Structure 1
Amino acid sequence: MHRHRARSPLSSSPGLGHAVKAVLFLLLLAGCAAKPHPQLYHLGIPDPPLMQKKAGSPVLLLETSAIPRHLDRPQMVTRQGGFQLVVHEHHRWSAPLDRLMRESLALRMDARLPGFRVIPAELGPAYPPPALRLRLQIIDFSGDEKGEVRLSGMFSLEAPGKLPKEVPFDVRVFSTSIEPEALAASQSLALDGLAEQLMAEVRNLF
């Protein structure tokens, strides 16, 4: 007695099998296309200094000693209510946030402090030992559901022969929108405000 195995419709119709595979391939492509690509943000790229720095300009080294764990991630984070944080999966920083802050602050200050070469910690090995060391401790650098951006923390300046002191800062900027792009622009403005405060402290030392 012979048993006949049921044949698959796809095996009996090669054309139909190819059609099904093509449909599955198109669905896969559609799924990949539907997945949104993350938007990347930076904190502003200032113009280079108008005046050329002297080769022997003293170095001011910019460091960040701490950044909150909830901000130490690629995604943008906003505050909502009293205790809730919102992580924006598809809106990300173009580099680690603490590094972006150091580089952006150093560029701002270097353009407006003609007596110093201001560099982020990453470039320290390429320069002479610093005459000044500026350390930042970040407590908050985020926006909330009302569009208020807050940049707060402490900083200290270390100079030879001078006792370092910790100085608090709390810069607030109101964004025109709660959209991530507008909040990132307001965070850039908050960084401008912090740069002004830091430069004032440097000038007071000399």
Structure 2
Amino acid sequence: MRRTTVALAIIAALLLASACSRSPRVTFYTLTPLTAAGAVQHNFSSAVAVGPVTIPELVNRPQLVVRQAPNRVAVLESHRWAEPLKNELPHLLAQDLGPLLGSSRVFAYDQVSAAAAQYRVLVDIVRLETVPGESVTVEAGWVVRGPGNARREGRAEIREKVNGSDYEAVAAAFSRALAGLSAQIAKTLTAPH
């Protein structure tokens, strides 16, 4: 009887201790639209729809994913994106492209009907990775579809230094890299036919 009482007391103490323990604090991050420094503004009057944007399945999750070694990544449970990247990226790229094109008629594809946009920018991000405290890399290809059957393509790999040791610095570096990607897309949109 005494063993049963002691065992029950230990189990009750363990249950009480686990009930009192706190879940780890989760921090949420967003990307910020930026106007690329020294960007040449254009007077692009046509409506542009950006998206959809595809991303690698590896990073298509709420958690931040960081590279730890050539063949190893970490999925950070307590550091998460505030919204799914595949939803946030078209909006971010559209917000970055607007000032670069000198236009208020640049939208994410889910904000405007395809018929209302004279240009459609489809983006395929093939690499979106970070090495914390070092750099982020965004590698992408895109297709610009214009009036008629006009079609232009582009590709870029953009690397940005992470200015800090926390994950807020990682999100800021991704924002800068994506602004650089927007600048490359703007060049494709404004290139002479």
Q: TM-score if structure 2 supplies the norm length?
A: 0.79
**Equivalent in 134, 137, 153 of residue 147 of structure 1:** 134
1:24-39 mapped onto 2 (5 Å cutoff): 27=17, 30-31=20-21, 34-39=22-27
TM-aligned CA deviation for residue 200 of structure 1: 1.7
For residues 145 and 109 of structure 1, the distance between their equivalents in structure 2, rounded to whole angstroms, comes to 27
- The answer to whether structure 1 residue 77 and structure 2 residue 77 are counterparts is no
Quick check: 1:80–1:86 contact (8 Å CA) kept in 2? yes
Aligned to 2:102: 114
TM-aligned CA deviation for residue 26 of structure 1: 7.0
Identity percentage of aligned residues:
25
Amino acid at match of 1:201: T
Superimposed CA distance per residue, residues 21-74 of structure 1 (whole angstroms, 9 cap, x where no aligned partner) = 9x899746632xx21231111111459xxxxxxxxx532010135211111000
Superimposed CA distance per residue, residues 59-108 of structure 1 (whole angstroms, 9 cap, x where no aligned partner) = 20101352111110000111122111111111100111121111111111
For residues 149 and 192 of structure 2, the distance between their equivalents in structure 1, rounded to whole angstroms, comes to 9
Quick check: 1:58–1:116 contact (8 Å CA) kept in 2? no
Which sections of structure 2, spanning at least 5 residues, go unmatched?
A: 6-11, 36-44
Q: Give the number of the structure whose alpha-carbon radius of gyration is greater.
A: 1
Q: CA RMSD in A?
A: 2.9
Aligned to 1:167: 154
Aligned to 1:53: none
- Distance of aligned partners of 1:134 and 1:189 in 2 relative to their CA distance in 1, 3 Å threshold: same
Which sections of structure 1, spanning at least 5 residues, go unmatched?
A: 1-8, 10-20, 48-56
Paired residue total: 179
Deviates more, 1:169-178 or 1:113-122: 113-122
Quick check: 2:152–2:188 contact (8 Å CA) kept in 1? no
Aligned to 1:189: 176
Residue 160 of structure 1: SS of its match in structure 2?
Answer: coil
- The answer to whether structure 1 residue 136 and structure 2 residue 102 are counterparts is no
TM-aligned CA deviation for residue 111 of structure 1: 3.0
For residues 128 and 163 of structure 1, the distance between their equivalents in structure 2, rounded to whole angstroms, comes to 15
Aligned to 1:199: 186
Q: TM-score if structure 1 supplies the norm length?
A: 0.74
For residues 150 and 45 of structure 1, the distance between their equivalents in structure 2, rounded to whole angstroms, comes to 17
Q: Which runs of 4+ in 1 moved over 4 A?
A: 23-29
Q: Higher relative contact order at CA 8 Å, sep ≥6: structure 1 or structure 2?
A: 2
Amino acid at match of 1:181: E
- Distance of aligned partners of 1:205 and 1:39 in 2 relative to their CA distance in 1, 3 Å threshold: farther
Deviates more, 1:58-67 or 1:182-191: 58-67
